[in-house]
Amino acid sequence: MRLTAKSEYGLLAMIDLACRVDQGPVSAREISDRQGIPAKYLEQLFVGLRKAGLVGAVRGAHGGFALHRPAGEITVLDVVEALEGSLRPTVCDGDRAAACGRGDACAAAGVWDRATSAVRDVLESTTLDSLARTQEVLDESGAARSPIER
Amino acid sequence: MRLTAKSEYGLLAMIDLACRVDQGPVSAREISDRQGIPAKYLEQLFVGLRKAGLVGAVRGAHGGFALHRPAGEITVLDVVEALEGSLRPTVCDGDRAAACGRGDACAAAGVWDRATSAVRDVLESTTLDSLARTQEVLDESGAARSPIER
DNA sequence: TGAAATCATACTGTTTTGGTAAGGATTCCA
DNA sequence: TGGAATCCTTACCAAAACAGTATGATTTCA
């Protein structure tokens, strides 16, 4: 179970898209400027997001990316698994469980499973829609203090 | 937030100790044989566990390690943090939050915080004592099938 | 045609991971 | 007293992961 910069950047980008669903495709360049994500790195992430069916791409001039499903039907877990692969325990998974010789008879494995499930529950119960609206509220209330500058 | 082989090995070793609290110190070598953990690597892990005050060491012949507190008062979170450092979100932590320019006004940060808290809750609510008893039950019921051999 | 944009692949420098190696310090036992 | 067992410390190392860069092909619009 790992959460890296891919997830962080990817979620920021997806929230950015969710805040602009009514604007047609948004270019990776625009998002990378706005969110402070390295441009070429973000392009790579969008490849994964597209292959997972979370975003649609429009090539050519004035192209860009847009959510491929309603924001309320895309969870953070969808984004994370599109970018990092299936969210399983990194410890005591299939290979290692065999290595330690216990198979199912390992008390420790249960803890790792429960921890992973707990994370899944959180990520699965949070949609892009709710995050986008939260973000909009935050942007409004902080607009006077120019949050991008600081 | 990362869970690596250190946590896996460390927890196995601590459960092993918890199953043998009444036997005086248990040598690292013995645990490494029983749990299938590389001997010298396990020694390194015990350094961290000892510095965290979770185990006491007895040097010299017939020495070894023993739990330094009752097994019911040591949580899996204690073990993990002793070995991997404080369990914080690896995404959007202090440094990155500053980098993305949002500070507190970031909807994504809340998700990572909640995910981390969920893991902490699971690990913090599980004690070595309960794991040791679970393991003993598993060992008994599987003893006829010789779980170590397979 | 030329600019804008995605798509695909390969490369790279750094850090982390998962060990191994070698020896030193301490303690027990014969 | 001299091993032998055991923890302690430090250093080293190969492989993988991470975060990003580079390059170029392809597609689309004006």
What percentage of chain B carries pLDDT values higher than 70?
A: 87
b/e A65-102 (16+ beta carbons within 10 angstroms → b): bbbbeebeebbbbbbbbbbbeebebbbbbeebbeebeb
Which of A122, A133, A134, A148 to probe by mutation at the B interface, max B CB count within 10 Å?
A122
Considering Cα of A3, then A69, then A74, then A113, what sign does the dihedral take? negative
Residue A55's beta-bridge partner residues? A67
Which helix (H) or strand (E) element contains residue A56?
strand A55-58
Average pLDDT, chain B: 90
Which helix (H) or strand (E) element contains residue B126?
none
Q: Give the pLDDT band of residue B93 (cuts 50, 70, 90).
A: low
With CB atoms and an 8 Å threshold, state whether A119 touches B118: yes
Shortest CA gap A71–chain B (Å): 15
Rounded Cα gap, residues A32 and A39, in angstroms: 5
pTM above 0.85, yes or no: yes
Q: Which nucleotides of D are covered by protein (CB under 7 A)?
A: 3-11, 17-23, 26-30
Predicted local distance difference test score (pLDDT) of residue B89: 76
Regarding the domain delimited by B5-141, which CATH topology (the fold level of the hierarchy) does it fall under? Answer: Arc Repressor Mutant, subunit A (1.10.10)
- How far does the CA of B99 sit from the C1' of C13, in Å? 21
Query: Which residue in this structure is represented by tokens 């790792």?
Result: A112
- How far does the CA of B48 sit from the C1' of D9, in Å? 13
Rounded Cα gap, residues A20 and A18, in angstroms: 5
Query: Which of residues B33 and B97 earns the better pLDDT score?
Result: B33
Q: Which of B85, B90, B84, B78 is nearest to B123 (CA)?
A: B78
3-state SS assignment for residue A67? strand
Q: Which amino acid is at A137?
A: V
Rounded Cα gap, residues B102 and B121, in angstroms: 27
Q: Which two tokens stand for residue A62?
A: 């004035």
Cα-based angle B43, B44, B50 (whole degrees, multiple of 5): 85
Q: Measure CB to CB from residue A138 to each of B92, B107, B111 and give the nearest one.
A: B107
Residue B40 burial by CB count (10 A; 0-12/13-18/19+): exposed, middle or buried? exposed
Q: Rounded to 10 degrees, what is the CA torsion of A144, A145, A150, B1?
A: -100
With CB atoms and an 8 Å threshold, state whether B105 touches A4: no
Residues of chain A positioned with their CB less than 8 A from the CB of B36: 99-101
Q: Which two tokens stand for residue B41?
A: 């690597």
At B13-46, the pLDDT tens digits run: 999 999 999 999 999 999 999 999 999 999 999 9
Query: Which of residues A104 and B5 earns the better pLDDT score?
Result: B5
Rounded Cα gap, residues A126 and A93, in angstroms: 26
Considering Cα of A42, then B90, then A84, then A18, what sign does the dihedral take? negative
- pLDDT at residue B94 tops 80: no
Q: Which two tokens stand for residue A63?
A: 């192209």
Q: Which protein residue's Cα is closest to nucleotide D3 at C1'?
A: B61
Q: Which protein residue's Cα is closest to nucleotide C4 at C1'?
A: A61
Q: What is the mean pLDDT of each run of 10 residues along chain A (150 residues)?
A: 93 98 97 96 98 98 97 98 89 54 81 96 98 94 56
Would you say B80 and B5 are in contact if contact means Cβ atoms under 8 Å apart? no
Which helix (H) or strand (E) element contains residue A144?
none
Shortest CA gap B105–chain A (Å): 5
